[in-house]
Each structure stands twice: as C-alpha cells, then as structure tokens.
Structure 1
Amino acid sequence: MLGLAPSDTFAADAAAAGLSDADTRAVFKAAGAVPRKGGWVICTDDPNASDAMIDSVRDLNGDGLPEVVLTEGGTYCYGHAGTGFQLLSKQPGGGWKVMAKDSGIPEFLKTHGANGWPDLSVGGPGFCFPVLRWNGKQYTHHRFEYEGKRCKPPR
C-alpha cells in the first residue's frame, strides 16, 4: 500500500505507484479526498481519519488504461469493516471516474461482468459477502459468495 500524500515525497510515491504526480492528485480529487495534515482524507467527518492510500494500480478491464483502488481505515465512516474503498478508472479523455465505492475490503474475482470488468467481492466481518457486477453503467449487487461458493447471509 502506498500513502500518497501531498508532501515532499509526493513525486517519488506517485512514481512508485506507476502514476504521474498529476494523475495521483487527480485520483484523490476524483474520490472526493481533501489534503489534511500531509495526507489525503476521504472521510472528512472523522476527526481521527487515517490517510487514504493507493492500494493498487492496474488495468482491470483490459482497455489499456489504469484502475486505482483507494482505501481508507476507520470505523467512524466504515463501521465494523474498519475500512472503505473506492475503485477509480482513468477515462480516455484523461479524467478519473469512480466506478465503485463501499465499506469493506475489495477482492477482484475471476468472473466478469460487461466490458471485461471483474466481479468485485466486498469482504468484511462474517462469512458471506456481497459480490458486485459491472452492468455496463455501474457496479450492482449480483450475488453473495464465500470462498467461491454462493451463500445466503444470515438475517
């Protein structure tokens, strides 16, 4: 995980993530993050928010453009999961678009939705997790799954 903060090491951190300084700033801004105490914060209501971090940079849908997963910790905004994420995709025009965001830990699965986008399991406490699928416009709930098998969450 890379903490890409607006600091003196910003350029080095951005390069390590495979993003330019401008793209890194654009990712955080597209996610709604604001600079705070040398880092970026998404959950601005949390007075003790941890810095948002770039968790991964890769091309998830095979279009030749990068996707970024941002994560941020804390129970104030993310409840029992203790973490939240945003998936952002670089657009052909150069901007960044939020594709999905939720409380929990994202895991990309081998199954796919429209346009080659991988299904997204949102993990957290428990043993039966929601799986989101890209329908061509947005990630929506598709099923519940645990360790590759369908399940029904307890009520």
Structure 2
Amino acid sequence: MNCEDAKYKCQLLIDDELNEEEIAPLMGHLESCYKCRDEYIGLLKLRRKLNGIKGPAPDEEWFENLSRNKGRRFAGGAGFILMVVSWLLLAGYALYSLFSDSGEGLFIKIVVAAAVVSVIVLFITALTDRIKESKTDKYKGVIK
C-alpha cells in the first residue's frame, strides 16, 4: 500500500467507512510508515476537537419566524389553489358561453378555444415541472 492510498483510507477509517478487510493492511502500513502514522494521529486529534464543538442554539425569534412562515406558506398555497380553480372555472365558463352563443363564427370559436386550452396546457405543464423540480431540490432547506 502506498502513502497516498493510506492517507485516503485513514480518513475512511476515522469516519467508520472502511471495510473490515481493508483495516488490517492499513494498520500494517501505519506501523511501518511514520509519516502516515503522524497523519492518522493528526486526523484523530482533529476529529476529537471537532466533536467537542457545539453550534449555537437558535434563539426564540427563529422559532417565532418558523411558525409565522408556516402560516404564510399555507395561506400562499391556499390562495394559489383558489386562483387556479377560479381561473379554470372562468375559462370553462368563457368557452361554454362562446359555444352556446350562436352570434360568433365557427372560426372565432375554434381560435378562442384553442387559445384558452393552450394556456391551460402550458400552465399545467409548468406546474408539474415545478412540482417535480421541488422534490429533488438540493437547496430546499437552505435558509437564505
């Protein structure tokens, strides 16, 4: 085993990610190579120091903002759903009244119907793409 592999495997060993069969050759290399052994000891000391560090606890304002944000997100989602439903009902009523009124020509009816249907299809496509994207968003929980 060369020193470069040993240094990489030392990090894996400290993180408990090294396979059982790879531990013995690594330990043999650490016994024979003082540079790698010093590197391993340094990594162990660093891990102990990092384990002793505690992050700051969030203050009360953070928890208040969290509960306020939940309410705002719920209200925003409910408003969005109401808007979508009302626009769909309005578009449906417009198409119904267009086709039930015989004063307009067939060409105008077809063009208006195609325009309304295309807007609805584009909206649904954009909405489904956004929902799929939000499920795999790796920055979803990051606080800005």
The structure with the greater share of residues assigned to strand is 1
Q: TM-score range by the shorter chain?
A: under 0.3
Normalising by the residue count of structure 1, what TM-score does the alignment of the two structures yield?
A: 0.15
Normalising by the residue count of structure 2, what TM-score does the alignment of the two structures yield?
A: 0.15
The structure with the greater share of residues assigned to helix is 2
Larger radius of gyration, structure 1 or 2? Answer: 2
